[in-house]
Amino acid sequence: MTDKNLLKIAQEFGTPTYVYEAESIKTQYQKLTDSFTKNTRFFYAAKSLTNINILKYIKSLGASLDCVSINEVKLGLRAGFTVDRILFTPNCVDFSEIEEAVALKVHVNIDNISILEQFGTKYGNSYPIFVRINPHIFAGGNYKISTGHIDSKFGISIHQLRHIERVMKSTNLCVNGLHMHTGSEIKDVDVFVQGLEILFEISEHFPYLKYLDMGSGFKVPYQDGDLETDVKSLGKKVEKVLSDFEKESGRNLELWFEPGKFLVSESGHFIVNSNVIKPTTATTFVGINSGFNHLIRPMFYDSYHKIENLSNPKGAERIYTVVGNICETDTFAWDRKLNEVREGDVLVFRNAGAYGFEMSSNFNSRLKPAEVLWLDGKAHLIRRRDEFEDLLRNQIEVL
């Protein structure tokens, strides 16, 4: 897909609009399948982007699905994933949500002792489960997306293994999978190997073990010079340690990963219009027709998104501060070099496929943007833009 295609989409569907390239998703998925050749499955982390068309497309590539809410599970089923290809990993949910997942017959992953006890008491060994372990490994590009450190709310501490064994023995609970996810934006592939070796060490406590799930956290490049997780190198290292483990233990375990951002981030282009150019004593603001109600990552995670001027790509470079139209500080970029921006120009935010639309809101009673899928050389509208009436949907007027 070219920048000219993006300009045509802006003209046809308006802005702000999220655009996703199907071929990019396919390319990223093939990187994984080419790099991990032995006994490995990939579960797309639905939380990255749950548009039903994206789910259906990723299913067609052969991936399975990782879900963190019961509604993501239901979306996966609606998209055509079979129950054996869905893993449900909730956090701090009511037990009724776990019961619903069991009724749907998907894989269930439990990450705290309380729910583990409730589950064992109700189901015993009739429904095998995964247990999520907190390995106390600090990893990831931002503290907010690091999930395996000692203060994380996720997983059962590796030092609580005795508690897990107690529940397994007293309730006859069957654990056939161990899960671990240390964070996002992981550059060092040895973090995964370190985590895998921890799971190897405790595997002897789980006689019915079939699966080891390493979560994900594969990094994608957001700006020039950024590194991407070397999945080919990781695949080789993982294959070796798995082979060594099989020889030593005699156990052949299937390895799972949960890529989300890695699959869809680079596929996404968020197109907007510049509303105003506002010079001040300190900077020149470019005010766009969007805000953190549409793309919150720069404000929430201090993340970087490359921004380009599609309308004036050969204009002289100038320095701008790009901001939104929300009544809060919604700065997308400080002192960013862009080709000269004029009022009405179409700009694009790159790498906007993951956690862009998915984290959007109607803050300030602003309308959510449209979504478009670029597939087989054509633009397909896959979510209409909000209209005013959408703001009132589900409200009940009593006055």
- CA 158 to CA 141: how far, in whole Å? 23
Report DSSP state, residue 183. B
| DSSP SS3 for 292 | coil
301 is in an annotated binding site: yes
DSSP symbols for 212-251: EE----B----STT-----HHHHHHHHHHHHHHHHHHH--
Q: Which secondary-structure segment (H or E) carries 370?
A: strand 370-375
Question: Which position has the token pair 């006994």?
Answer: 39
Provide the greatest CA pair distance for the chain. Answer: 72
Q: Which helix (H) or strand (E) holds 331?
A: strand 331-339
Rounded to whole angstroms, the Cα distance separating 392 from 395 reads 5
**Is 355 labelled as part of a ligand binding site?**
yes
Alpha carbons within 13 A on the beta-carbon side of 20: 30
Q: Is the Cβ–Cβ distance between 171 and 122 less than 8 Å?
A: no
Write the CA distances from 318 to 276, 303, 323, integer angstroms.
15, 22, 16
Cα dist from 76 to 43, 204, 207, 264, 380, whole Å: 11, 33, 30, 16, 21
d(CA 27, CA 25): 5
Sign of CA dihedral 55, 57, 62, 63: negative
Beta bridge partners of 107: 87
- 328 labeled binding residue: yes
In the set 67, 92, 174, 327, the catalytic residue is: 327
DSSP code of 288?
E
- DSSP three-state, residue 164: helix
The CA-based angle 18-21-22, given to 5 degrees, is 125
304 is in an annotated binding site: no
User: Is position 67 annotated as part of the catalytic site?
Assistant: no
Q: Give the residue ranges of the annotated binding site for pyridoxal 5'-phosphate.
A: 217, 355
Q: Give the residue ranges of the annotated binding site.
A: 217, 297, 301, 328, 355
Q: Give the residue ranges of the annotated binding site for substrate.
A: 297, 301, 328, 355
Provide the annotated active-site residues: 327
